Chains A and B, each alone.
Chain A
Amino acid sequence: MTSEKMIIEVEGLMKHYGEVKALDDVSFSVKEGEIFGLLGPNGAGKTTLMEILCGLRRFDEGKVNVFGLDLVKDPYKIRSLIGFCPQETLLYDLLSVRENFAFAASLYSLSSRKFKERVEFSSKFLGVEEFLNRRVQQLSGGMKRRANLAASVIHDPPIVILDEPTVGFDPNIKREFWELMKALKDHGKTLLLSTHDMYEADEICDRVAIMDEGKIVALDKPLILKKTIGGEASIRVRVKDDQVEKALKLIDKYNHIAKDNEVQVFVANPWETMPEISKKLISQRILTEKVEVVEPTLEDVFIKLTGRRLTEEYK
């Protein structure tokens, strides 16, 4: 599906909130038909960037083109080409899902024929059929988020921007949502999404821009990022809390990063080094919870680039 046509082009984007530099010289392009991910920790500037694209915030410097249109000159035309699915559920509790759709559709001046067609699409591919006529206040959290997503694409926009679409979901619903996003891609949409979740970025994004403190620190296909920056596989050691110090002494000679009771060791040949480390730990009577070889993840990429972890949740 992915073509080489760039439909979102961002160049030298700057945004300050008073003293805070939320976006610092951000440049990237999104290809037609791809799922493009913005991966970064809290405060990296993901929301700021997306809301600028949607015309919700202004920017200080730089240039943004969408389908060749200038964001400053043609904001309204661009808005009609984008479906924005913000992190919070923006539905009216007292209206039914269908009524919410109708409202969203009216904002884009959809004809009633097209509206019917789109409701059908949402029922079929986004799984909202069972609760289409229920009031939003009666829906479960997951249903609301699905309806929210469907409402944001009711006008059939070529570009869908999703701000942390799966944050707070349990793994099952997360997977379900990944399928929804892939379905949108299969229907020819271009997706720009933000996430904290390296697995999510890895799983569904064609390309990922890693953001930190308002900057894009790396941008490529997940596989390439992992290979080129993440390096080889590494050894992960987890020990009992009170034995961290002892363990660190042993591991000190290897290139490593420690966090809480977990140490990640980077060596040329992890498969051979792992038993060696294991033996040493055992001989010193250090109780390990886990010693394993792990393939590099996007998190490793982030760690390599910034010296910090992406989030605290994934250990």
Chain B
Amino acid sequence: MNPIVGIAVKDVKTFFREKGTIFWTIAFPVLIMLLFTAIFGRDIPFNANIGIVNEDGQTPITDAVISGLNSTGVFTLRNFTDRNEALRELNATNVRAVVTIPQNFSFDLMFTNHSKISLVVDGTNPDVARLVEDGIKNFFTEYYKMLYNQTYNMTYYEPITVNAETSFVGQRIGYKENIVPGMLCYPLLFSSMVVSTGAIVYEREKGTLKKIRASPIRPINMLFGKTLAALFQTAISILVMTVLAVTLLTPRLNWNVSLLAPIMFLGSMNGIALGLIISCIGRAPQEASNAATTIGIVLQFFIGMYFPIEYLPIYLQQIGRVIPMTYAAQAIRDVMVRNAALNEIVMPMITLTASATILYAVGVLLYKRWVEKE
């Protein structure tokens, strides 16, 4: 057998029998995928507990408001008779907002055409506060429109209508469609790097590297064998993620395999090369694998996997733009979401090729230097 293949086969076999690596390459992404599915795989990807204090008593209008809020699906309502008790629950963050329907709410609305609602929002989480506040305001606007419609039998117009449209090429983007391309970057970042770091560090620790080095296989071929195995393992993890994403989330995305495969290959090569460098620098095995994991965790914030790179402050964005993996993440998103054609992803592919080549060369040199130091 060819020695490169021999090393790859050996690594893959061990991989399937090693619980730890299986966890990193398969179980962990699966876990994340399941979590994201639970979070984003719904029609309304948000739900908050809301306290309702109805001081107006039961009227057709308060009934309509409460059942209306209930039916949005965004809120889970909890009724309170005492406003102070509701506010205590708010302080304990058991509810995210307290809506108080004041006395005479129905009466005022019917006869003066103007009424007030009191809304207290939990400010400890700005994102939730904003969503809740917007949601409740929107609800009442819509409710008033409906009421107006019923009462006067004509359409209510706001003084200025904002005609909001979303620009998108191809399909409309939902949460799922946004998150899946990011998820597919996960194996590129973690699996590839952790696997390739482990591949060499493990052999060094066990001493089996001695056996390989005492054989006539050249260092570069040994690294090729390791790379082949790491690519295979990364591919498995991508495949698992893809299958899960498709079956659990059913996102409307373009699965242009002929474009995605090369991008993912190049992305993995970047991760593998990085892992190779880490395994030559890290002295103790634990040190190296910690380094790989930490770098992966840090990088995921920079490369725009889960949230757009624009979320970062400008100086962090600039860091993101020099990380090759950012281009992989972007290209994957472009292909899957925008149905980008080959000519649109040529630049990122060239960038990825260049960086993979450079990183790999550095890795090979470091490995050779390390081997020859003995």
Contacts and interface: CB of A to CB of B under 8 A. Distances in A.
A90 B3 CA distance: 17
A94 B18 contact: yes
A104 B1 contact: no
8 contacts: A55-B213, A55-B214, A76-B218, A92-B206, A106-B3, A106-B7, A107-B215, A107-B217
A22 to B, nearest CB: 12
Interface string A149-168: 00010000000000000000
B308 interface: no
Interface in A91-107: 91-92, 94-95, 99, 102-107
Interface stretch (A78-86, A211-219, A226-234, A287-295): A78-86
Given A103-B10, A109-B3, A54 B214 contact: yes
Contacts of A92: 10, 14, 206, 208
Interface in A137-159: 152
Interface string B190-218: 00000000000000001110111111111
B7 A84 contact: no
Interface in A26-58: 54-58
A241 B12 CA distance: 60
Contacts of B206: 90, 92
Nearest to A81: B216
Interface string B335-374: 0000000000000000000000000000000000000101
Contacts of A105: 1, 6
Given A109-B2, A110-B1, A56 B213 contact: yes
Contact of A106 (B5, B14, B18, B372): B5
B13 interface: yes
Contacts of B208: 90-92
Nearest to B372: A58
Contact of B216 (A79, A103, A115, A152): A79
Contacts of B10: 92, 95, 99, 103, 106
A109 B374 contact: no
Contacts of B212: 107
A220 interface: no
A76 to B, nearest CB: 4
A77 interface: yes
Nearest to A137: B17
A169 interface: no
A212 B215 CA distance: 29
Nearest to A79: B216
Contacts of A269: none
A88 interface: yes
Contacts of A86: 207, 210-211
A94 B216 contact: no
Interface string B1-38: 11101110110011001100000000000000000000
B213 A106 contact: no
B1 A90 contact: no
Contacts of B18: 94
